[in-house]
Structures are given as structure tokens and as C-alpha cells.
Amino acid sequence: MLLKHYYIEKIAHGSYILAGTKSCAVIDPSRDVDLYLEEARKLGVEITHILETHLHADFVSGHVELAHRTGADIFMPQAGNCAFDHVPVSEGDVLEVDAIRLEVMETPGHSPESACYVVRDTSRGEGPLGVFTGDTLFVGDVGRPDLFPNRAEELADKLYHSLHEKLLTLPDHCEVYPAHGAGSLCGRTLSAKRRSTIGYERRYNQPLQIEDKGDFIQSLTSDMPPAPDHFSRCNEINRAGPALLSELPKLEALDPSQFKERMQDPGVIVVDVRNYDAFGSQHIRGAWHVALSGNFPTFAGWVLPPDREILLIAEGNEGAKQANLWARRVGLDRITGYLEGGMLAWAVAGQPTASVRQLSAGDLHEMVQGEALSSFVLVDARSALEYENMHIEGAVNIPAPDLRTRFQELKPDTPTVLICSSGHRASLGASILKQHGFQEVYNVAGGMTGYNAAGYSPKCSVCANPHVSHAFTDVLETTG
Amino acid sequence: MLLKHYYIEKIAHGSYILAGTKSCAVIDPSRDVDLYLEEARKLGVEITHILETHLHADFVSGHVELAHRTGADIFMPQAGNCAFDHVPVSEGDVLEVDAIRLEVMETPGHSPESACYVVRDTSRGEGPLGVFTGDTLFVGDVGRPDLFPNRAEELADKLYHSLHEKLLTLPDHCEVYPAHGAGSLCGRTLSAKRRSTIGYERRYNQPLQIEDKGDFIQSLTSDMPPAPDHFSRCNEINRAGPALLSELPKLEALDPSQFKERMQDPGVIVVDVRNYDAFGSQHIRGAWHVALSGNFPTFAGWVLPPDREILLIAEGNEGAKQANLWARRVGLDRITGYLEGGMLAWAVAGQPTASVRQLSAGDLHEMVQGEALSSFVLVDARSALEYENMHIEGAVNIPAPDLRTRFQELKPDTPTVLICSSGHRASLGASILKQHGFQEVYNVAGGMTGYNAAGYSPKCSVCANPHVSHAFTDVLETTG
Amino acid sequence: MLLKHYYIEKIAHGSYILAGTKSCAVIDPSRDVDLYLEEARKLGVEITHILETHLHADFVSGHVELAHRTGADIFMPQAGNCAFDHVPVSEGDVLEVDAIRLEVMETPGHSPESACYVVRDTSRGEGPLGVFTGDTLFVGDVGRPDLFPNRAEELADKLYHSLHEKLLTLPDHCEVYPAHGAGSLCGRTLSAKRRSTIGYERRYNQPLQIEDKGDFIQSLTSDMPPAPDHFSRCNEINRAGPALLSELPKLEALDPSQFKERMQDPGVIVVDVRNYDAFGSQHIRGAWHVALSGNFPTFAGWVLPPDREILLIAEGNEGAKQANLWARRVGLDRITGYLEGGMLAWAVAGQPTASVRQLSAGDLHEMVQGEALSSFVLVDARSALEYENMHIEGAVNIPAPDLRTRFQELKPDTPTVLICSSGHRASLGASILKQHGFQEVYNVAGGMTGYNAAGYSPKCSVCANPHVSHAFTDVLETTG
Amino acid sequence: MLLKHYYIEKIAHGSYILAGTKSCAVIDPSRDVDLYLEEARKLGVEITHILETHLHADFVSGHVELAHRTGADIFMPQAGNCAFDHVPVSEGDVLEVDAIRLEVMETPGHSPESACYVVRDTSRGEGPLGVFTGDTLFVGDVGRPDLFPNRAEELADKLYHSLHEKLLTLPDHCEVYPAHGAGSLCGRTLSAKRRSTIGYERRYNQPLQIEDKGDFIQSLTSDMPPAPDHFSRCNEINRAGPALLSELPKLEALDPSQFKERMQDPGVIVVDVRNYDAFGSQHIRGAWHVALSGNFPTFAGWVLPPDREILLIAEGNEGAKQANLWARRVGLDRITGYLEGGMLAWAVAGQPTASVRQLSAGDLHEMVQGEALSSFVLVDARSALEYENMHIEGAVNIPAPDLRTRFQELKPDTPTVLICSSGHRASLGASILKQHGFQEVYNVAGGMTGYNAAGYSPKCSVCANPHVSHAFTDVLETTG
């Protein structure tokens, strides 16, 4: 038996190939399935089983794509009520991949249909060797049960039982193979380490230490990070069966005049994926800014209207292709073109542009030191949690995605400074404010991290460790 | 805490990066250290610790190279008596990598100085999370204690204690990170799966099931696979500190006349790394054949005289570079050139060649069916174990590397057919026989695997699963 | 005005981009048109004109593919009577590409419809600057007029007039841009230099020195190299309009059992594209051998039956892809699969194989020295011209492609040795003889070149300069 | 005989391989010589001759590097008085490369030592076939004789004689192989076409149409484009023999704190090579801006102080490597490091930044329309010629490089808007003004091209053809 683990940064998604001597299963595949096909070819095994632990909320799964490309069966928890061709599985069902036995363990909680697959390698012994836990049990955390808001308590209750009466009955030595790692919004405090064991998590996993069910439910249904908008959308796409990649629109190179014509269409939006400094310097009026070098898939999935056709502004066509790949992973399937030559070509064509001025840490410090604070608004575009941990006095907290509606709490004619952790989210926020007619908008380059590094505020204990994700929030910008 | 696992096929070597928030340790690095440097750069951490579990016998370690490139300290068990700059460690010593604690556990057995490093992630809890077991405990096997033949029993005794009194005292949930996987000759029956847990191995690891120490020693000191010649050599190289890669000779492209001149030097050998069919068709007289597509590093390390300068025959210069890389991994540091244009250039230059005819499964079957068997010798060049499992009646067993001396048991003027598992080892054997003046030498293309597949002999239970390595022997040819 | 020249080795095909400030023309495009699209994109110009000088005989042109991908018009001599959408052009027609003027000059001879395009850059001056001569005038040669055997004299007559009354009326300084270079079979002695001038060719081009028309016709219709079979085929394909690449079958990876099943179909042939040594060592019975490292497109186009589906044996899948690309360039559109894992996989599957033994120069010398010559036949598989220049006494001349029918002049039960220039063509011949039941077939590795290099025969004046092509024949093997 | 032409964009430099059957010459090689080594290897010929037509002023030649790597001799006009090992050549000297004869023709004018090499292919005929004209004769132009200002008339006189009494005595059909193409500052109006013939240039080359020597001298010594500062420097480097690449400093990745420390050294300058929009948004105070996507080598060579160590700001380390390669081509050998992570890392480290605001065509139009013109200065940073062709009323012409001294004509406390052709040069100018304490500096993104495209001013006849270079000036920004 051979286990291969694939990990996609930014969406922090783990998928697996579990291979016997002739066949293999792929568990929770990514939508771009080439890597599984290539690996199976290298290993000399056939992909015969595609296993889904549940209907993923945060990304579009590759189950249908992979089935189409290989002819393998999709195994999906019965409770998922899926529309595509599949083999529904339920408690106790056993799948066999050569000498490997996979037994279905229903573990509702993160979602109603969530299940785990317990692995036995009969060539070595009868006992369980590992378990694919999907989003039920993570390293250092459990799957959040609040993604269906009006069922949050019910699901938290179920999760408690799934964990304590199902997963924790497995022996200590049983390995844990989750579907996510640090930075995922499917939990709150996932560890950077990507795999674990039942015994280790039994002892050190925080939510598992909460003995009282009421406390557990209370903890898991309060103070959760916000769920991006695409979470429910991806869920439905995965249930219905995502479109095949070969059926999606091709990405066209457009010259400035073609681009300009296409963007007149009210069904079209422009998304600029360059770094915040380039965006700030000159961009197309009305464009969304979601930086490719930030957590592009999460924020693109979160804020961009899914029913619109998208035209891209990127650095080079390689950047446009990358953005398209990431967008498809979160169900944005309607990217149809990009501006060839980028903003330099746009300028040379004499087209109008807009700008967002960047402030350095020092620039901001001067502003907040002076009496100036009364003359401008400082918006902290990070999450509520990050804001609470530490923030600049006088700053108003509106998380970047919320600015889509909460811009109304601000005044378009007051100078507005946005700050986040390093600059990407604030710049997204800036692009939103500009769409709503804000005249004078500033982005703090380097964000709170730069502000702290410059010595303008005490480091909080959390921020002292910028590398490994201590909380979901930082990771939104820095992962990957 | 983040753990990254690197695995090099053919030598089946596992190395690790264990990263905290700012620093990381590299455990049992490969000699080509670029991948660690790049990963550390991507993670944004500094390589501060280089840990060796023991003096590796089967490959040249990258400890000195990596220390030279990074300035990090090398930590090495004190009992290794190493010559290079290092920090000697012994039982109970604790190393700290940010919030990670690594505790030294001396586990002599596979080698006198073998040690393990028990990992604790203090940011999560005090209990042990995993252990770097080097060659002491593998997935499905333990490290062989017989590499120092006259100390085999003593070391097997120590290994028993190291396993039962040290490693198995760790909790079931503790993960096991070994230095080798399936195909390694540092054990006998390593699993394809690359990591495990103490609890799973406690239950299902075969040698660990042997309760009686006497039985354990008996089992671990008999019927072991042969140890390649380079095992003691690499051991010494690692103790002394391997040469830096930047100091090794460059690989030169040589045209036929340059090549011919250089190969006249009695200190030079020619090594042909093409597939056995190309080698068989035409090769330079006297050349060694070690196919790059087989387990090149193991057999090159095993049979090639280490004190000679090596010239290569390969398909393309990319092949020559690959061979050079692999050779350096097993301590063959004196490859200085390759024949540009390969054997086609050699032929066009009108130079003499030799050949080894290939037989198909059917050809061989006809020969052994007829009365012919008396007119030729069939040499089975696989290991004793493989031979015992199943062989063609009348075949003589001389493992390929042994033909270097045991060619004397054969007659140079009798037609000699060599067979192995798939064709590579037999072809190596053929090249050795040709060096000793054998006139008529044949290689069975496809080997016993093809012979069985053609239906000429019953499949043994072992061979029914060609993919995943059930025994060390097959793997010599097929891994990687 | 900017001129870019593209040159494809082996078929020795030259094509051109002629760019103005906004638009460009592509002249005699290759079938794989991506390079033109990319270049136009880089130059920032639109491909608006696709010009064909004539219906190419030796390769499938990219005119239809490029028109399909760009929407540009195809300009084709009216006399071509082409079936696809195009703008027919005739004597005196003028095309404008920005400030560039291209004037049609009808120059029948190489083919009835051949034309040239005279270029003027009106931004610099009114005089002709260069001329796209197609296959009418080459560097050092003229286009052969004998490809329509029963019209050879008529066309040679026309060619004489086209050259002397049309092309040579252009001024000396006018540059010459031909469609072929050294190694092309569309002429006899093309120079390695790829472009020239009217003045230089007027003075030094051999056929142009023949003043008497009768002598010219006589010279151009005798002693011409044979025309490969695909020449008339490609001609017809180009007239009808080649299939779009997107409509051709995909290349599938087949395992040995799939491969075996598919090759049972009588409509399928197996083509082995590896080097002759690997082919000689073990190949699938009945396979054609056309080495990718030789002049694959010319010989594949020449000898392979065009109406059959083709399965490939290659080194690696990259080799299979390369072979497919080349095959499509000569109109072999029905390659559908290749053997994954190559012949090693075949052997491991226990399948039967055949072989052709390779002889070194020395081996052959011994044979022809001894009385042996009576006991075997030596076939010189080069062209008649090469044979006449120099050959081994006693050798019979049958050019490799002719062995498809002339095998009947040889005896299947007599040992047969084949020799060519370096080994590729003789091995092709060997594969043909094996298809017809010849028992004992040998290939001389290194061919006459190796034989000469070994000192076994005097160097002829022609062969002393192996690099630059002095005659069409050598080039068949060595170009590219 | 085979001729290969290599062309390096931006510096518009043409070099050549002229190959016989066994040997080849390289004419006017680039400093990065790998491409010649690789081509020679592919062709199977040895590089035996390295020919220099003269001491290049605009780039560092690869003569010494190539001689060091191959052992070939360097042939250099005697009058160059060069310091390195070479074979001095003078009028009438003949070099032989297999059957190729190269005859030296002394042609002083562009520089005192300039020479041409007339090529004959004796295998085809005795007449001249082509001529390597270096910077004496270009396609559409002749080499400027004014680079040694106090000898301009003398050299123009010599050039007249070299052209009319030497080069133009060659026959019309003789091909012309110059060392430069469109965009080179070694002439004034070079054509985009890269090669020509004596006859065509005799008829249509403008300077060659000036019959009267006095007029010729007058024309060639007035209204010439400015000569960048590195022209005399490269000349001297080439005479002395450039440093070997292996001896130059390595390019180090520096984190923000290392970078900051190193840039404190007064011997160090910071050069930002990103696009002008990113530079404008945030850059390190005092940095030079020379965009890699513009004509980086020319402007870097021109304006950067050659005696200073250089640290780079680029997009990605690939950008830094590219900049280093280009810089070495113009003799800037002291680039030692770059900021890893670029300006985003700088911002996150809380370091101070500066900015230059970008104006769109529309923004500028509004400003110049309003009464505003009195409140700011508009500097046209293009060359005098471009300015004269067409400019915005009220704009002051100071070419970007001249701002190094002429900044003194402007007032640091007056808002200053810079405009050039597309934005790169103006941004270079902006970076210079910022170094001198200018408070409010603007760059017009898209420059005059965008301004025209937006319809704010009539297109001049010159600018209507943006693609092919009509004048040296535009090309400075758009070539390559």
C-alpha cells in the first residue's frame, strides 16, 4: 500500500492517492486532475475509485472531471443526494482496492452528509491503519459546523457525536488524513502540520478537549470566522456535478480596443490581479482588485459576482492563466479574456485610468499622530478577530468583503485610508470603495505587519510569529 | 510545526524538513541539497539544524554539503566518531528548533552509533508527536544489524533492546519517520507506505512480533540479502565527511577520438548506462553495463571499482548527467566524461564494438525445452532468495554482482544465457562475463517476469503482485 | 519591413514572415503554425496574407490551418486549381501588405503552377528587393522538373524559360528566398546556405550556367534522385486542403496487451522509430524501422503505406510525440497510439520479438576479406549516385525504399548484410527484408562512413567533407 | 557554407556564425557566448576564428570570453591597438575557414579602426558572396562617424571614402551583413530589415545617395542622436579586453534588512527595473528607475554611474537575473544583489517609500487645457528630434538622460510633469528629479503615444507607424 498526499496552497486543500498493487483510489480530488492521472501512470496503477468525504464548500471538487477522464466510479455519501452518476455509500459499506479495505463511517457535523473512510491494509493486518477524515477532524481542529447557519447547533451536536462516538473509537495509532490544513476557512485554528494520529489529536486537539457537549456546541457556533460567499455556491456545484474543464470558455488575449468594447457589456466585470502597488498606480475604473499573489482563490470566490463574465488584468499572460486556474477551483468558470500587454498597453492606447495612493508605515504614522485623524477615516479591513487582537486607535473595523455593502457606513467624500495585514485585502477594499464613488482612497502598503515592523505599535504575541499560521486570519493573505 | 518528506526512488531514501516558525531542521539529507535550500526559502525559514540519525551505509549523505551551504550545525551521534565539524549528541540531549523539541534516543543495532530523534511540538502539547527512526525502525521492518558481519549478533542483540526498551516505550500515537522505504537494502521487507505509527508497527511489524530475543537475533542474522560493496564504503565517506560537489570533476563531452584516447588509460573504465537492448546491440568492448533505467545507483555502487575514473556511454547528454548525479549519491565521484553522440557516433567513427544477443521468453522456452540445455549454461543472476522462490529447472544461481569473481565457475567457451527479473541485472552479468572473455553470451529480455507472463511457468504467489514490492529483490530492478 | 526566416531541418523547408508595420504575410507555411502566430503576436502585427508559391510535393503545407486560425486569405497560383477557399493569383497580380508590394511572377517548371513573388519595399524605393522563389530557384540549384514523370521534358522546357526570361531579368541585387535548402529532394545539389541573390546565382548556380536549352532539359531530366512516394501524395493533399490538426486522431498510450490487440487488425502497421541499435536488439515482428534520429519524415513519407493506421514504438512518450509531429508534416495523419514503456514493457509482458544483428566496420571487413563473400549477400541500400561514387566491391545496390519490391531479387534463406551511409537506411531495409521472411539479416552500424573512417577503403573526394551536404543523398541521413 | 544570424533586441546587435564543413568563424560575438558554443556543437564544427569588425561602442563584445572558452584566435583590425591576445589584421589579409575565404577591407569612418570582411565561398566560385560590414554600412543607413566628437569631420571624410571607394566597389549581388539593425544608436535611421545587398543599398540607402563629399560630411555630423555615455566606455572595455563572466560578482538575494544595510554604503546605488506603474506606486527613496521592459541596456548603460555597486529592485528573481544579463552586455559589471520579495517585502518590513503619480492621457489633457499650465512644468523627456517632430505646446524639452545635469533648469518646488513616448523614459527622468529633491513629480503613463491615441493631438506622419522603427528615437522605448 502506498499513500501519496497532494496539497494545494491558498485553499489549503489536501487530496490523496491510495494505491494498491494494480488499482488506486483518489480521495477528495482537486478539479485539475492531471496530477492524479500522471501519478497513476507513473505508479503503473489504474484509478478505479474516486472517493468524496462530503460536498466541499470551499472549492470545486474534481470528482466528475476525474470520472470522465478515467471511467472510475465516484463514491459519495448517500446523504449528499447528488445529481451526477455515483455510487452512494453509507455506514459500514466497504470498498476494496486490491488488498486495501475502506470502510465508510458516517460522521455528520461539518455538513449533514460528511463521512470518513477507515483504511485497513489487509496485507499487513486487520486493524485500522488510517482514516480519511475529510473536514470532520483536522490536525489541531475540527470542521466548523456553522456553514448552514440555521442548522449550526444541530450540526454541532451531530459533530460532537461523530467525533466522540465514531472517530475517537479508533485506536490511538490510527493515522488521520484530513482534507484541509492551516489557512482553511473550514475550521478555525488548523495546524500547519498536515497529518496526525487519532491518539495525538485525542490528547491535544483543542475542541476534542471540551467534554461537555453543551460547551462544545457553544464553542463551535460562536466567534467563527466569516464564511465566504462561495462556500454555499461550491457546495451546490459539487452536488450538481461541476462542468467539465473542456467545456469552459477559452481565455482570449484582447487588445485594448477589443477589451474596451467587451467591458462595456453590463454583464462583464474587470478583475485586476496584479500586486497592489501596480493596481494602485493605474487601473481601469471600476475594476475589482484581487491580487494573485495574495489568497486569490478565497477572495475571488468570496467577493466576485459569480453570474458575471470576467475579464482579467494581469502581469503577462502567464499571470492570466494562473488566475483562471485558481478561479475555476472556486467555481468562477466565466473568465473569458485578458488584456494583452496589460496596463502599459492600455496607457499607450490613451485610455483613462484611476489610482489608489499607497502609504508607507511611516506615512500612516505621521497621519495618525497629527490632528489629521479627524480629517480622514481609517478602515481596518481585516477580520473582527484580527482587529480585536490589535489595532490602531481610532480605526474602524470593516472586513474587506463586507465593504461590498458596508461602504454605506462611510462617506465618499471623506479621505479614506484602508489597512489590513500586508496590503492585499485593504487594496481589495479600496477597489470596492472606488466602485462606489469614493474620491480619495489610500492603501497602507505592508499593512499592520509593516506598521509593527517599523516599531509604531507593540507586537502582539500572535503577530510575533508571522510564519506559521496561528490563526485563520493572517493566513488569508500569507498562505501560498 | 510543518513536516516535509522527501523521497528518492531507487535508493528509497527518505529525508525530512521539520520547520518551526523561523527555523528548520533537515534530517538525513541527500547529497544534492538544492531542494532543501529552495524549500526553506519558500517557507521563509532558515536551516539551522542538520540531523543525522547514523552513518548511512547505502548513500552519501548531504550533511557536510548542507552545512557548507548554510552555516547550520551538524548534529551526529557521538558514537559515530566523525572527522568533520559537528555537534556530537547522546542519549537525552535536547535540540530546540523554535517551539519544537527533539530529544536524542540512542538506538544501536542497525549500526553501533544509530540514534533516533523524538519530536515534541511544545506549541501543541508535551507528549511525543513523532520520531525520526533512521534505519532502526522502518514501516514493516527493522534495520538489518548484519552490515558489520563480525558484529552481527552483538548488534542484533542491541537492536532488540533498542526496539523493545526504547522505541516501543513511545506511545502508540507517535508517528514514525524512517530513513528508507520499499526497495532499500538496509532491511529485508520494507513496506511501500512511507510513514507509520508506533502503535501500528507494534502490532503488525513482523520482526517486532518475535518476542524471544534469541529468535530475533537468529532471524535478523540469517537469510539476509547480500550487502552491496559500497555499503561499507559510504559508511566511511560519511564518517570522514564527503567531498563538496563543487570540488568534484566536471563532466566533459568527448568525441570518439578523445574518448578512445582516454579509455586507453588503465585507470579508466567505461560504463554503459543505456537500456539492455541498446547495450546488447552494440557496445564498447570491456564496458560495464549498468542501466540507468534499472536500479542504477545500487548496482553502480555495488560493482564498479571505486578507485577508477569513469567514462560514460548514455543516450544523450541528459542521460549522462543523470548517471553522474546518481553515481555521486553512492560515492562514485570520479565520472569525468561521456561519449558525445553515443554509440551511433562511435559506429560512424568506425570503431570496434561487441554485442550480447537478447532472447525473448519464447526463445528461451524453446531452448530449455529442447535437448539444448546440455549445450549451454543458464545462469540465474538474481539473488538467492528470488532463485529459491521460483526458478527454471537447470538454472545455476549466481547473483549478478557475484559474477565479478564467480565467473570462474563458468566456462568462457560455453554459450551462456543469463536471466534475472526483467533484464537489467542479467545484462550487467553479461557485461562482466564479456570482460572475462566469454564468447557467446545471451540476455533474456524481460527476465523471469516475461517468462512467467508468457505462461511458461506457474506464477508463484510472490510474483503475482509485480507492482508493490513484496521482497527486497524485485525492487532492485523495478523501483523508481 | 522585417523578414523572418523559419527553417525546418530534415525536410529542409524554409518559410517566411514578411512584416510591415501592422500586417504581415506568411509565405509557404509549415503545417504546425504556432510559431507564426506567436511571432506575429510578438511583432504586434496581424497575419493578413498566406502565400503559397506552389503545391508543395514534399510536405503538407500549413496554408489551410493558418487560414483557419487567423482568418487570413490564402493566395495560390490560379493554375493550381485548388479546392479550398483561396484567392487565385496570376502573372502581374499585386498584393499589398502595408507599404510592401508583392508581385506575382508565374514560373512553371518545377510544377505546372509554380510562381514567385517579387518584393518591393515602397518605403525605401521602387526597385525589387527580393523574390520568394519557392522551388523554382534554390541556392546553388533549381527545382527539379521531373516530379511528373510523363511531363518532365515539357516542364524542364518551361523551367528554362521561367528562369532565363523571368527570374534572371531581376536585377543582380535582388535577394532570393527559396522554399528549400540543403538536403531537400526537390533539387539535386542545394547549398547549405539558405538565401542568396539573383546576381550570385546568375554567376555560380550550376544549372543556370547551361546556356543551351536542350542541354538544360537533358541535364534536368536525367540522373535525378528518386522521388519519394509521398511527393505526389502531398501534392494532392495540398491541392485538396489538408485536414485541420484539431481533427486528427489523438495519440494514445497503450499497454502491451492493448497494443497487441490493436496490432492484430490488418489495417494497422507498427513503426519503430528508435535508433537502429535498439531496433536491432529486439523489436516486434513485422515492424517497420524508420529512425527518428535519421531523416524520419522523408523515409516515413516515402515507404509507409499511407492508408494504414500506425502504432509507434519509441523511446519514451516524447519520442512518440515527435514522430507524430514529423509524420503529420508529410501527410501521415493516422498515427493513433504508441507502446507505453516501449520494448522493455513488451519484453516484461513475455511477448515475442525479432532481431537484426549489427556489424561493426571491422566485422564487415573481416567478412568481405575472407572467402565469406560467397556465403552472404551484401546489399548497399544507398542511392544509385552514392553507390556509384564509391562502394565495396561485390556489393549489390538496392536503395532502401526499393527493397519494398526488389526484395524479390534476393533470397530469404541467404544471409544478407545491409549497408548505407551511417546505418539508418540499411536498418530500414533490414526491417523490410524481415517482413518478407528473410532469416538472417545484418546491419552495418556506422555504414560506409564508419567503414571509411576505420580505414578500410579510400576516402572518395565527396565523402571527405561529411558536414556540408555536397549531394542530396548523404543528407538524407545526416540532416537535422 | 552556412550562415547563421543572431540578433539581440534592444541593443539591436547582429552577430554571425559562418560555418564551413569542419570549422566556423564567429563575427562580432555577444558577451554571452553560450549560444555560439551550442550552435557549433549542433553543427558539428569547431569555432576556430573570432572576428571583430571594430571596437564596438554600444555593447561589450564576447571576443575575449569566446576565445577563453574555445581557444580560438581573435582577429581584430590592427588599428585598434588592442591589449588582449589577438591576431591583428589589415587591408588585404586573408583568413581561411575551410573553403571559405575572408578578406580584410579597411573601412575607417564609424571608428578609426573599422574594417569589413569580404566573404568568398571557393566551393561555389571566386566572386565575393557577402561582406560583414560591422558599423560601416547598415541596411538603410551608414555608421555614424561622430562618436569621437573632435574627430567627427575627419572620420566622416574617411567614411565617405570607405563607402565609395571600398564597399561600393563590390558587385551589386554581394550580400551585406551589418552588426546592427533598427533601434541602434550607432546610426540614425536603420531599417528593420536585417540584411541587404550592395546593389540595393547603392540605390536606396539615403546617405549613399549624397554624392558630394562635403554634403555627406555635413549631413553625418549634424543632427545626430546623442551618444549615450557608455559608448566611449564600452569602446575602452573592448579594447582592453572585458572581464570574464566567471570572474564577475554573483547576484545575491537580500532580505529587506540586508538590503537596507548594503544600500547605506555610499558606493552603492539602487536601481529599480520594474514597470513605471509599480515604480510610481512605491519605490525606495533615491532609487534610479530604468524599466526592464523598456530599452533597459541602453538607458542603464547611459545614465548609471559605472563605478558604483548596484542593488536591484525587480519583479521576481527572474527579473533580477535578466537585468543583470543586460547590464553586463553594456559593461555594468558590478550588480551584486537584489531585494528578495521585492517592494512587497520592503513594505511588510515597514520601510519608508516614495512615489511618483501616474497621469493618464486624459488627466494631462485636462491639466494643459485648464489655466493649470502656469502652475506646473511639463517636461518632454524625449530626444530633440522627437520633440521637434511633434510636442505639446508649452512643453520644455529635456531628454531624460540630460536631466542628470539639467535638473538645475527646473525648480524642485514646482509640480513637474514628465512625458516621453510611452512612459519609460519619463519615469527615468522622474527618478532623477526625485533624487534631487523635487517634491511633486508626475509621469504621463502611455506618453505621447497614448496622448495621440486618445485624440488629443494630431498624429504626425512619423507616429502613425508605431511598429517598424522610422527613427532611432521611438525605438529606444519600444524595441525588444
Quick one: DSSP state of residue C438? -
How far is residue C97 from each of residues A382, C214, D57, measured CA to CA in Å? 57, 40, 36
Q: How many CA atoms lie within 13 A of D245 on its CB side?
A: 22
Task: Please give the helix or strand (H or E) that residue B344 lies within, else none.
Answer: helix B342-348
Average pLDDT over residues D210-232: 94
Neighbours of chain C (3+ CB pairs under 8 A): A, B, D
pLDDT band at B415 (very low <50, low <70, confident <90, very high): very high
Rounded Cα distance, C362 and C444, in Å: 10
Give, in degrees to the nearest 5, the angle at Cα C267 between C263 and C273: 55
- Rounded to whole angstroms, the Cα distance separating A252 from A266 reads 19
- Residue for grid cell 540605390: D203
The answer to whether A453 contacts chain D (CB < 8 Å) is yes
pLDDT digits (tens, 9 = 90+) for A152-210: 999 999 999 999 999 999 999 999 999 999 999 999 989 999 999 999 999 999 999 99
Output the pLDDT for position C458.
52
> For C365-409, how does the pLDDT look when each residue is reduced to its tens digit (9 = 90+)?
999 887 555 789 999 999 998 999 899 999 999 999 999 999 999
Helix (H, G, I), strand (E, B) or coil at A18: strand
> Under 8 Å CB-to-CB from A158, ≥6 apart: which residues?
A108, A109, A112, A145
The predicted structure's pLDDT at residue A373: 58
B-to-D residue pairs, Cβ atoms closer than 8 angstroms: 3
Touching A: C residues 35-64, CB under 8 Å: 41
Confidence of residue C471 (pLDDT cuts 50, 70, 90): very low
Q: What DSSP designation does D51 have? A: E
What is the rounded distance in angstroms from the CA atom of residue D192 to the CA atom of residue D466?
12
pTM over 0.80: yes
pLDDT band at residue D373 using 50, 70 and 90 as cut-offs: low
Identify the pLDDT of residue D473: 37
Q: How many residues does chain C have?
A: 480
Inter-chain touch C445–B293, beta carbons under 8 Å: no
Share of chain D above pLDDT 90, in %: 90
Among B186-200, B368-382, C102-116, the range scoring the smallest mean pLDDT is: B368-382
- Sign for the CA dihedral angle at C185, C191, C193, C194 comes to negative
What angle separates helix A230-240 from helix A296-303, to the nearest 10 degrees? 90
Cα distances (angstroms) measured from residue C227 to each of A337, C144, C384, C402, D82: 48, 10, 13, 11, 55
| Interval C416-430 mean pLDDT | 97
List phi, psi (to 5°) of D339.
-80, 110
- pLDDT for position D282: 96
Residue with cell 568527448: B254
ipTM: 0.92
Query: CB–CB of B277 and C275 under 8 A?
Result: no
Q: Which amino acid is at A257?
A: S
End-to-end CA distance of chain D: 30
Tens of pLDDT, residue by residue over A199-209, are: 999 999 999 99
Say what the pLDDT of residue A369 is: 82
Contact call for B446 and C350, based on CB within 8 A: yes
pLDDT, one tens digit per residue, over D281-331 is 999 999 999 999 999 999 999 999 999 999 999 998 999 999 999 999 999
Closest C-alpha to C195, from C179, C172, C171: C179
> Contact A468/B140, CB-based, under 8 Å?
no
CATH architecture of D357-453: 3-Layer(aba) Sandwich (3.40)
| H-type alpha helices, D304-399 | 316-329, 342-348, 361-369, 384-389
pLDDT of residue A190: 96
The answer to whether D253 contacts chain A (CB < 8 Å) is: no
Q: Would the CATH topology of C248-348 be identical to that of C357-453?
A: yes
Does the beta carbon of D275 lie under 8 angstroms from any beta carbon of chain A?
Answer: yes
Instruction: Tell me the per-residue pLDDT of C275-332, one tens digit each, with 9 for 90 and over.
Output: 999 999 999 999 999 999 999 999 999 999 999 999 999 998 999 999 999 999 999 9
Arithmetic mean of pLDDT, B458-465: 44
Closest residue on chain D to B253 (Cα) = D41
Radius of gyration of chain B (CA): 23
* pLDDT value at residue B480: 29
Percentage above 70 pLDDT, chain C: 95
Residue A475 predicted with pLDDT over 70: no
The pLDDT tens digits for C123-181 are: 999 999 999 999 999 999 999 999 998 999 999 999 999 999 999 999 999 999 999 99
The rounded mean pLDDT for chain A is 93
Checking if the pLDDT of D458 tops 60, the result is: no
CB nearest A1 (choices: B1, B127, B192): B192
Confidence category of residue C232, pLDDT binned at 50, 70, 90: confident
Among the residue ranges B288-292, B465-469, D199-203, the one predicted with the least confidence is: B465-469
Interatomic CA distance for residues D271 and D319, integer angstroms: 12
Chain C stretch 312-341, residues whose beta carbon is closer than 8 A to a beta carbon of chain A? 340
Average pLDDT (A23-28) is 98
Question: Domain locations in chain C?
Answer: 2-240, 248-348, 357-453
Alpha-carbon distance A417 to nearest alpha carbon in chain D (angstroms): 15
What residues of chain D lie within 8 A of the CB of A449, using their CB? 348, 350
Q: Is C352 on the interface with B (CB under 8 A)?
A: yes
C-alpha A333/C-alpha B47 separation (Å) is: 41
Measured distance CA(C70)–CA(A130) in Å, rounded: 55
Query: In this structure, what is the dihedral angle of CA atoms A312, A316, A317, A322, given to the nearest 10 degrees?
Result: -70
Close Cβ partners of C50 (under 8 Å, ≥ 6 residues apart): C25, C26, C29, C63, C66, C67, C70, C72, C73, C74, C75
- Inform me whether the pLDDT recorded for A304 exceeds 50: yes
Q: pLDDT at position A479, please?
A: 32
Residue B465 has pLDDT above 60, yes or no: no
Q: Which residue has the cell 474587470?
A: A270
C357 to B353: CB separation less than 8 angstroms, yes or no: no
Contacts of C189 in chain D (CB under 8 A): none
| DSSP string for residues in B106-125 | E--SSSTT-EEEEEEETTT-
Residues from chain A contacting residue B191 (CB–CB below 8 Å): 1, 124
Under a CB-based contact definition with an 8 Å cutoff, are residues A177 and A195 in contact?
yes
- What contacts C267, CB < 8 A, 6 or more positions away? C308, C309
Distance from CA of B480 to the nearest CA of A (A): 9
Q: How far is A416 from chain D (nearest CA, A)?
A: 17
pLDDT in tens, B2-57: 999 999 999 999 999 999 999 999 999 999 999 999 999 999 999 999 999 999 99
Q: Residue A467's pLDDT is what?
A: 32
Label residue D371 by pLDDT band (50, 70, 90). Answer: low
Average pLDDT over residues D11-16: 97
Q: Which CATH number fits domain D2-240: 3.30.930.10, 2.102.10.10, 3.60.15.10, 2.60.40.420?
A: 3.60.15.10
pLDDT score of D223: 87
Which of D21, D173, D468 lies nearest to residue C467, judging by beta carbons?
Answer: D21
> What is the rounded distance in angstroms from the CA atom of residue C12 to the CA atom of residue B44?
51
Answer whether residue B479 shows pLDDT above 60: no
Q: Which chains touch A (3 or more CB pairs under 8 A)?
A: B, C, D
CA distance B181 to D102: 64
DSSP D30: B
Question: Which CATH number fits the domain C248-348, given the four candidates 3.40.250.10, 3.40.228.10, 3.30.1600.10, 3.40.50.9100?
Answer: 3.40.250.10
Q: What is the mean pLDDT of chain C?
A: 93
Q: Read off the C-alpha cell for D382.
A: 524625449
Chain B hits for D253, CB-CB cut-off 8 Å, are 41
Specify the pLDDT at position B203: 98
Would you say how long chain B is, in residues? 480
At D356, is the pLDDT very low, low, confident or very high (cuts 50, 70, 90)? very high
Residue B246: how many CA atoms within 13 Å on its side-chain side? 7
Question: Look-up: residue for cell 559605472?
Answer: D306
Q: Tell me the Cα Rg of chain A.
A: 23
